[in-house]
Amino acid sequence: VSEIFQLSEADQQQLMRESSFLARSLENEFAGDKLNIAALGNIVPQLHVHHIVRYKTDAAWPAPVWGRVPALAYDESELRALAKKLSDVLQNDSTIEFKPV
């Protein structure tokens, strides 16, 4: 599956529930100015959805983030802390049942 429309109607609804849950969680946790949600798949031809918290102070604002500035690697400790924060948010705030497609 590489496109949302290729999912069954039930799976499309599940994807929207999960995407909305994640969007609310990211908004609550990171307090961005905008949240960009995209399903591009131009390079990786499998269905995946990007959720990107945006701030008016980010280097690409207000343009899309892709191809604007070179990627910056996270410091190992920053990456671990961010991964734990996201994991905690998703485990503690989940009010929906996540199902594999």
pLDDT of the residue at 91 = 80
Per-residue confidence (pLDDT) for residue 15, from 0 to 100:
94
**pLDDT at position 89:** 82
Give me the pLDDT at residue 43, please: 86
Q: For the whole model, what pTM was predicted?
A: 0.82
pLDDT of amino acid 10: 95
Question: Domain-by-domain residue ranges, the chain?
Answer: 4-92
Closest to 67 (Cα-Cα) out of 59, 56, 78: 59
Taking CA atoms, 43 is separated from 6, 15, 70, 101, in Å, by 18, 21, 17, 21
What's the pLDDT tens digit per position in 34-88? Answer: 999 999 888 888 999 999 999 999 999 999 998 888 888 999 999 999 999 888 8
The CATH fold of domain 4-92: HIT family, subunit A (3.30.428)
d(CA 57, CA 42) in angstroms, rounded, equals 27
